[in-house]
Homo-oligomer: A and B are copies of this chain.
Amino acid sequence: MEGMELASFQIIAAVGGARSSVMEALKDAREGNYEAASAKLEEANQFLAEAHKGHTGLIQKEAQGEQVPFSLLFMHAEDQLMTTITLRDIAMEMIEMYKKIG
């Protein structure tokens, strides 16, 4: 497996973990378990930090003038990463909402 394919799969795997953790955090908050929700969010952040490494590495390569080839799989990995970061941000606000609703 070449470098870019590997990086893509690493991102997709880490982001998948993050996404699951965020969804579980929302479920916890919905059931009033705010501490569990907070722990799940922390877990999601760790997954996202891991996923972000592959992303940053390649962006830097291109910035240094290296031509990074197009890969559909990597594009998909990036889409997963960016939508999951957004999902995490929204989930944080939704958990605040659940606290208000009680």
Contacts and interface: CB of A to CB of B under 8 A. Distances in A.
Nearest to A22: B89
Interface in A43-102: 58-59, 62-63, 68-73, 75-76, 78-80, 82-87, 89-90, 93-94, 96-98, 100-101
Q: How many copies does the complex hold?
A: 3
Interface residues of A, number: 33
Nearest to A58: B72
Of A72, A79, A82, A96, the most chain B CB neighbours within 10 A belong to: A72
Contacts of A93: 26, 30, 94
Contacts of A62: 71-73
A23 interface: yes
Contacts of A97: 30, 94, 97-98, 101
Contacts of A26: 93
B73 A63 contact: yes
A90 B26 CA distance: 10
